[in-house]
Structure 1
Amino acid sequence: MRTLAAVLTAHYLAAFTALGMPVFMPRVLAGLAPGAPDWLSGLLYVLPTVCTALTATAWGRLADRYGRKLSLMRAQAGLALGFVLAGCAPSLPWFVLALIVQGTCGGSLAAANAYLATQAQGSSLTRALDWTQFSARLAMVTAPALLGLATGLGLAQTLYAYLAVLPLLALALTWLLPTDPVATVGATATPHAGPREHDNLRELLPLLLVQFLFCFAMVVTFPYFISYSEALGVGNDSHAGLYYSLPHLVYLVLLPWLRARSPAPQRPLLIGLGLFSLACLGHAVLADPAWLAPARVLYGIGMLLAIGGINRALSAQAGRGGAGRLFGRFDACGKWAGALGGVAAGALVHRWGLAMPFVAATLAGAGALLCAVRLFLFLPSRQPYAPASDA
C-alpha cells in the first residue's frame, strides 16, 4: 500500500502537469502567436500525444530490459524538461520543440502501470489500474479549474515553467520506490517467445480496437470544449474548466461503487459505452447551458463504466510477462487515437462548428460499443477475468 500510495501521488503530480494545460492551448497561442489559425490549437494539442504514440512501445521494451522504475523516472524527467522549454519559449517553433520533447520523453501513465504490474497481480493489479485512473481523473478535476483561474488573471505560457516543478517532485518520490526485478523479464526474450508474443498480441487486438475508438471519442471532445461551453453562454474560463472537469469528478465519486459491484468487464463496458455515446449525442444537440451539467454527468458515468471494463479486461492480460510491452502497446493505441481525435477536432470545428466533435464522438462511441458486443458476446474468451470485488 505504501508503494501504491507513492506511485499514485507521483502520477497525480505528473498528470496535473500534463493534462491541465492542453485544454487552454487557444489561450497560449493567442499570446505566443496572435493570428494563428484556429485549427492550430487542435494540432498542437495532439503533438505530444503523437510523439508518445511513436515511442511508447520502444520505451516499454526498454522498461522490460532495464527496469520499470527507471522508465517511470525517465517519463517524469522528460515531462519536466518539456514544460521548462515550453514556459521559456520565445517563439512558436521553440514551443513546438518543447511539445515534441514532452511527448517523446513522456508516457507516465503507461510507465506507472507497468511498474505496478511488477508489484501486484490479479485483483490487486485491477485495483491498482483503477487507482491510477483515479489519480488521472483527480488531476483532470483539479487542474482545469485551478489553471483556469490562473489564465483568467492573464497567465498562460508562463504556467508551463511553474508547473515543471510538479513532475520534479514526482521524480523525487519515484526515486524512493523499490527497484523492480528486471532479471526475471529476460526469460521472455528467449527464441521461443516470438510465437507466444504474437498469440498474445492477436488476443489483445479486439480490446485494442475498443480502446482506440473510445479514446478517440473522448479526446475529440477535449481541445475546443472551453470555446464550446463559452459559445453556449458559460461565463468565464474558470466556470468552463469546472464543466470540463465534471465527468472526472463523477468518476472519482462513483469509482468505489464500481469496484464493489463489477467482477467482470462485460457489463460495465457495454453499458458504459452506450451511456457515453448517448451523452455525446446530447452535447451535440445542446442549445441551453442549463442542460450542460446533466450531459456532463452522464458523460462521466459512461466514461467510468467503460474505463472500468477496459481495466478489468487488461488486467487479465498483464500476468503473462512483458508488462512494459503490454502497457506500452496499450498506451500507444490510446495515444494514436488521441492524436487522431485532436486533429479531427480542429478540422471539424474549422469546417462545421464547435458541436461537430461531439457528433464524431457519438459515432466513435457507437463503433466501440459494437466492437465490445462482438468481443464479449460472440467471441470465445480463453482467459478468465480477474474479479475486482475484493480490489
Structure 2
Amino acid sequence: MTADVLRMPRPGFGPGHVHAVAGCYFVASFAALGLPPFLTEILPELGDRTARWAGLLYVVPTVFGALGAPVWGRLADRFGRKRLLLRAQLGLAVTFLLAGWADSLGTFTAALVLQGVLGGTFAASNGYLGAALEGTHLSTALTLMHGSARAALVVAPIVVGFLSTWLSPHRQYALLALLPLAAALLLAALPEPQAEEADLTEMAQTSEPAPAGALRSLYALEFAFVFSTVISFPYLISLVEERIPGASPTPAGVLFAVPHLCYLMAAMPVHTAFRDRARAGIVFGFVCVAIGLAGHSVADSLATLIGVRLVLGVGLTLGLVCLSVLTADCVKGRSPGGLFGSLEFFSKAGAVASGVAAAAGSARYGPTAPLLTGAAVALITVCATILRSLCTRWSHTCPR
C-alpha cells in the first residue's frame, strides 16, 4: 500500500459521511453557542436579578469540557469513536433539557457543569473523522468542522434572538435539546470507522508518527491561537458603543460576524493554497491576527472597524486551516481519540484564559486592553515559531 492509498478514506466512508458529521455538529452547537450570550436575560428569572454570575457561568461548560475531553478521547479509542460520539450528542440533549427546566440558579449551574462534562461533541466528531480519514482528506474534513462552528456562532444568536419574541432564552434550552437528539439519531446510521488489520500493519510500516516535539508545538499553537482570537469576543460590543456613540446593536452584530463569515467564504481555497506549507500559513495567520487586534485600538469609524475585522478574519482563516493541516499530520500513527481529546483541552484552556484576561484587562484599562493583550500574545507566538523553525533548521545543517 502506498502513502497515497493510506491517505484515502476507509472503505465505505465517503464525503457524505463527513458532511453528515459536520451537519450534526452544527445543529448540536446551536444551544451551546447561541444561548450563552443571553445569560444576562436568563439569570434574573432564576433569582440573580443583576446577572452578576453571568461572566462565571459563561465559562463553566468550557472549564469542565476541558477537564473531561482527554478522558473521553481515550475512552473513544478503547470502546469505539461512534459510540462516544453518540454519547456526546445524547449528553448534550440531557443537559439542555435540565437547563431549560431548571427553576433555581443552583440547578441551572449544575446543568452547565454537566454540559461541559457530558458534551465534547467537537472533539468526539474529530476523533471519529480521524479514525476514518488521513492526510489531505482529514485536514479538509477538519476545515469543514471549523466551518460548522463558525456558522453556528453566526447563525445561532440570531435565531435565539428571533425566537425570544415567543419563548424566553431560558426555556429555549429545552426546545433546542431536540437538535442534538436528532443529530444522535442521524449519527446512529453512520458506520464505525475501522481499519482492516492489513491496513494497520501496512500503516505501521510506512507511516511513522510525527515527533513528540511537533505534537507539543501543535498544542502550544492551539492554545495561543484560541487565546488571541477569543479574547476579542466579550467586549466588542462595548468597544463599538465607545467608538460609534448611539449606534444600534445591528452594526455590533455585523462586526462580530465579519471574521467568521470570512472563514466561511475562504476556508477551502486557503486549504488548497496552504496544505503543503502550513507552518508559513500559521505564522502569517498570527501576524494578521496581531495586526487586526491592534488595529481596533485606533479604528474610530464603522469603515475602519470593518477593515480591521476583515484583517482579523484573514488571520482567523489562515490559523484555523493551517492548524487543521498540522493536526492531520500529527494524527498519523497515533490514536485519534486521545489526540483530539488533548487538543480540545488546550483549546478550551486557551478560551478560559482569554476570558479571564479579557475581564481583568477591560475592568482596569477599558475595552481595548483585551485586544492589545491578544495582539501581544499573537506576536510572541510568531517570534517563538520563527525561532523554533530556525533552531530546527540549524540543528539539521550543523555538522556533528
What do residues 297-354 of structure 1 show as CA deviations (whole Å, max 9, x unaligned)?
A: 1111110001111111111111112110111111111111111112222222333322
Number of the residue aligned with 1:136: 149
Matches within 5 A, 1:133-282: 133-151=146-164, 155-181=168-194, 200-233=211-244, 235-262=247-274, 263-282=276-295
Map 1:326-345 → 2, pairs under 5 A? 326-345=339-358
Secondary structure class of the residue paired with 1:221: coil
- The C-alpha deviation readout for 1:247-288, integer Å capped at 9, x for no partner, is 111001111321221122122111111011111112234333
Specify whether residues 17 and 264 from structure 1 end up closer, same or farther in structure 2 by C-alpha distance, changes over 3 A only: farther
Q: Secondary structure at the match of 1:320?
A: coil
Are 2:93 and 2:178, in contact at CA under 8 Å, matched by a contact in 1? yes
- C-alpha separation between the residues in 2 aligned to 1:94 and 1:232? 39
Residues 1:14 and 2:28 are matched in the alignment: yes
Question: Letter of the aligned partner of 1:303 in structure 2?
Answer: L
Cα distance in 2 for partners of 1:183, 1:165 equals: 36
**Matches of 1:68 and 1:352 in 2, distance apart?**
46
Residue 225 of structure 1 and its aligned partner are, at CA, apart by 3.1
Deviation at 1:235, TM superposition (A): 4.2
Structure 2 Cα separation of the partners of residues 84 and 235 of structure 1? 36
Letter in 2 for 1:341: S
1:364 aligns with 2:377: yes
- Counting matched residue pairs gives 370
C-alpha displacement at 1:380, in angstroms?
4.9
If the length of structure 1 is used for normalisation, what is the TM-score?
0.87
CA distance in 2, matches of 1:111, 1:250: 26
Secondary structure of 1:132's counterpart equals helix
Check conservation: 1:17, 1:167, Cα contact below 8 A: no
* Alpha-carbon contact 1:269-1:372 (below 8 Å) kept: no
- For the aligned residues, what is the CA RMSD? 2.6
**In the TM superposition, what whole-angstrom CA distance separates every residue of 1:223-250 from its partner, at most 9, and x where no partner exists?**
3334443444474445533322221110
> For residue 19 of structure 2, what is the amino acid of its counterpart?
A
5+ unaligned residues in a row in structure 2: which ranges? 1-14, 202-207, 396-400
Percent of pairs with identical residues: 34
Q: Which residue of 2 aligns with 1:34?
A: 49
Q: How far, CA to CA, are the matches of 1:87 and 1:238 in structure 2? A: 27
Contact 1:85/1:161 (<8 A) preserved: yes
CA change 1:286–1:157 in 2 (3 A) is farther
Deviation string for 1:49-94 (max 9, x for gaps)?
1101111111110000001111111111122222222222222222
In structure 2, how many angstroms separate the alpha carbons of the residues matched to 1:52 and 1:181?
27
Is residue 108 from structure 1 mapped to residue 121 from structure 2 by the alignment? yes
Cα separation, 2, equivalents of 1:129 and 1:146: 25
TM-score by length of 2: 0.85
| CA shift in 2, pair 1:102/1:94, >3 Å | same
Distance 1:21 1:148 in 2: 9
Q: Who is 1:4 aligned against?
A: 18
Letter in 1 for 2:218: L
Residue matched to 1:350:
363
Alignment correspondent of 1:385: none
- The answer to whether the aligner puts 1:62 opposite 2:86 as a matched pair is no
- Relative to structure 1, the CA distance from residue 378 to residue 267 in structure 2 (aligned partners, 3 Å threshold; closer, same or farther) is same
1:292 corresponds, among 296, 301, 305, to 305
